[in-house]
Copies of this chain bind each other. A is one copy, B any other.
Amino acid sequence: MSSLFLIGMGPGDLALFPAKGRQALAACTDVIGYNLYIELLTPLLDGKQRHELPLGAETERARMALNIAAQGRTTALISSGDIGIYAMAAVVFELLDRQLAGKESAPAWLQLHIEIIPGISAMQMAASRVGAPLGHDFCAISLSDLLTPWDTIEARINAAGLGDFVVTFYNPVSRQRDWQLNAAKEILLRYRPTTTPVILGRNLARADESIRVTTLADLDSADVDMLTVVIVGNSTSRQLHIQNRDWVYTPRGYGYTRLLETGS
């Protein structure tokens, strides 16, 4: 039985890529991924067949990984962050689902040993740079309307507002999409204060990392690109200034804020 490893490499700094993923890669003859991620992994890929495909070719990458593994080659499909969060693992299972439904002609896919190795997702890396904004209940919402209609996304942002979840926006903007993040901001402003802390993290754990704390009132899609992850605090998230550095955290519960106010 041949193996297909689905590996999340984390934000890009190899010091955050654990032994589990390295051991799996070492066992592979073939590695498939978006060009940039393959490049970041170069030190670990000596002697392996690399299959680089451009961003956007998700289904092609997943299909290629399944097909190469089905030929008996031990194969790794790579994504940045956590491969299980807005990433390639779901695409692989979409294809397996189609095969089970008789819509593909690749029964060998169903014989593969599949193992998934999680990684640090962008929201976790961004949170770690500024404190603990994800310290209590949170949600993640993709603003990409390629596969999800905007009215569904809008309903979800409203639900996040109603539930007072800390919200991380993945895919906040793209070259073709620039208005969704500002629309999301307007929705959240119905539920939480203008002063709510917002974190913009770009190219985290890479040489040109930038991280910035702003407020919901000042959030503007013009400051955000497709490499940015956006975390919006909930109504209790607090911004601290300590020695010229901005920190954000979300207390563990609503009881805490009272505790702070009463001084007990």
Tell me if A158 counts as interface (CB < 8 A to partner B): yes
The stretch that binds B, out of A29-37, A126-134, A177-185, A208-216, is A126-134
The reply to whether B240 and A132 form a contact with Cβ atoms under 8 Å apart is: no
The reply to whether B131 and A82 form a contact with Cβ atoms under 8 Å apart is: no
Tell me if A45 counts as interface (CB < 8 A to partner B): no
- From 1 to 17 in chain A, residues with beta carbon under 8 angstroms from any chain B beta carbon are 10, 13-17
Given A91-B252, A160-B163, A254-B147, check contact A127 B118 (CB 8 Å): yes
The stretch that binds B, out of A65-73, A95-103, A222-230, is A95-103
Residues 133-150 of A, flagged 1 when their CB comes within 8 A of B and 0 if not, give 111111111101011110
Q: Summarize A's interface: helix, strand, loop or mixed.
A: mixed
Tell me if A94 counts as interface (CB < 8 A to partner B): yes
Given A20-B16, A128-B117, check contact A96 B242 (CB 8 Å): yes
**A100, A101, A120, A254 pick with most chain B CB within 10 angstroms:** A120
Q: How far is the CA of A155 from the CA of B256 in the complex (A)?
A: 18
Q: How far is the CA of A96 from the CA of B247 in the complex (A)?
A: 10
Total A residues in contact with B, Cβ cutoff 8 Å: 83
Nearest opposing residue in chain B for A253, CB measure: B147
Nearest opposing residue in chain B for A11, CB measure: B118
Q: A119 to nearest B CB, angstroms?
A: 8
Residues of B within 8 A of A92 (CB): 132
**A84, A89, A101 pick with most chain B CB within 10 angstroms:** A84
Q: How far is the CA of A247 from the CA of B96 in the complex (A)?
A: 10
Tell me if A74 counts as interface (CB < 8 A to partner B): no
The reply to whether B137 and A140 form a contact with Cβ atoms under 8 Å apart is: yes
Q: How far is the CA of A260 from the CA of B90 in the complex (A)?
A: 14
Q: How far is the CA of A136 from the CA of B90 in the complex (A)?
A: 8
CB < 8 Å neighbour of A148 from B85, B134, B254: B254
The reply to whether B118 and A124 form a contact with Cβ atoms under 8 Å apart is: yes
The 29 sampled A-B contact pairs (Cβ below 8 Å) are A14-B19, A15-B18, A15-B19, A17-B18, A84-B134, A85-B127, A85-B135, A86-B135, A86-B252, A89-B128, A89-B131, A90-B249, A93-B131, A94-B251, A94-B256, A94-B260, A98-B260, A103-B260, A103-B263, A116-B129, A116-B132, A118-B125, A118-B127, A136-B142, A137-B140, A146-B253, A147-B254, A152-B254, A156-B164
